Structure 1
Amino acid sequence: MSKPSLQFVLVLYRQTWPAVASNKLLSTFLQEHPENHLLIIDNSPEIKDVPIVGEANITYQQYPENPGLAPAYNLALAEASKHHHEWLVLLDQDTTLTEDYLAAILADKQPLDEVVCRVPQMFANQKQISPLLADTYIDRNWHCPPIGVTNRRVMAINSASVWRVSFLKKIGGFSLEFPLDFLDHWLFYQVHVHHKEIEVLPICLEHDLSVLHYQTMTMERYQSILAAETRYYTEVEIEKKQRHLQQLQRRTIKQFLSVGNRSIWRATWKSYQNLRRKRK
């Protein structure tokens, strides 16, 4: 069984390296498999001490202006291409990796070009949040694809997804139109429109999905999510715009009844009204 060459990218934001969920596991893995490389992109306003930097296969770069995920991923893609890595692994500071996951992505069982992405099953609060079937608009009644290779329309979160470098280069890299939010929607939509396949790995990981926590989310971040949603459903999957409009209306009512921060539901209502005007 062949072992693919992996380029990892880990994006940090206001997080120290010792607080990263999988720092010890990653350090050990990279020591045992020096042919792979880790690029740490720190979008924090201040430089953090990363003890493992200095190893031959670990690089650290800081961007205090916090340009988002897409620029960091594009930088990692350039590094992967430069060093002839076959796969690019996107990592998040809030995902807890396992030895089984690293072993699975190191063993390349999908050499065919049709499989352009490999994803684990991601859980938050004991509920699977990724990958999800995306033939229709994803709402609270989502459904999950089975384990294995599929050509069904699938959406998954960025973190722990493993991408074929040749495919990413073919689609022009990561879209700067979605530098942070909805980048994952855009990316997996590219798999669909290019008629490629995804492998769902028999691996379960835990992820702390920040967008589920209104009580700790800043208004700036929530406004970013709303803006990305609007752009996505008016420029990419336009056929789902009406369904998204209905979802915004329901979300407004739910937030009015259950979210203490009144600015949240007002922002959702405003986004709903703006989207209605764009429909006319």
Structure 2
Amino acid sequence: MPFVGDGKAESAAEDETTTAEPVGVDAAEPSVDAAVEAARDAAVAVVFVRDRTTEAKDRDSLRLPGEQDELVEAVAAAADETVVVVASSGPVELPWRDDVDAILEAWYPGQADGAAIASVLYGDRDPSGRLPVTFAPEVAYPASEQRRYPGVDGEAQYEEGVFIGYRHFDADGVDAEPTYPFGHGHTYADVSYRDATVVDGRTVHVTVENVADRPGREVVQAYVRPPESSPVERPTRELAGFESIALEAGEARTVDLGLESRALGRYDLDRGWTVDPGTYTVEVARSARDVHKTVSLEVERGD
């Protein structure tokens, strides 16, 4: 579960907390006025929202269904602090994100969701997940009306090629900024990166320290930029490796991120997976947009 909100990554719950059930689902819609009244008397208001999708039905919009956005906005205006827990199958629009104190993306967590979410909100567990997708405004995604889904005359077009997912937002000519980038997520700890080097040819060595007074988890990520001499057009950066680590308060650990040939390579129709010679830039980061250290990796000949 990643904390994706820009608010403080602190324990989000207090002794007096009120929750408002999602609006726009199968049950009768609860009153927004009732939720606002409850929020005024609570130390922290926790609002649960969700999307509506199944294995047999795609969403036709990234907006939350019903009046859930209006519910969150009304509660946030009334409460001293507001936390929103999002249960969704993928990215959703969050028009109220600047008005709330924290957002927890819970996905579809299953039968233990109540206990799992409570353990994160109360600070008993660190929100150690990171986003496997990009959250962005709906107009920012590379969709061309009906051409991709369901297609035209039974054919779906995928013109984006390799520039799919987070790679799209780094492509030339794309001005849209992600709301929350691929790999993003908060921890209750404060983490510092230092001493990034390349050892043994294709292993990135980096020291990560928890400078907080409480334990936490960090997901160390490595993104690769291809050589300028690449014979084909490639994404600006691609995820090449990652490692999730637990850190006690004040603990420092050295993480080794081994970059396999597939992480550096591209697919050639004639030769299969190919690593071009040249200088690769490796970005050690907390997300696709939050780079902390940069090192160079030399490849003298391709594999």
TM-score by length of 2: 0.29
Structure with bigger gyration radius? 2
More helix as a share of residues: 1
- More relative contact order, 1 or 2 (CA 8 Å, 6+ apart): 1
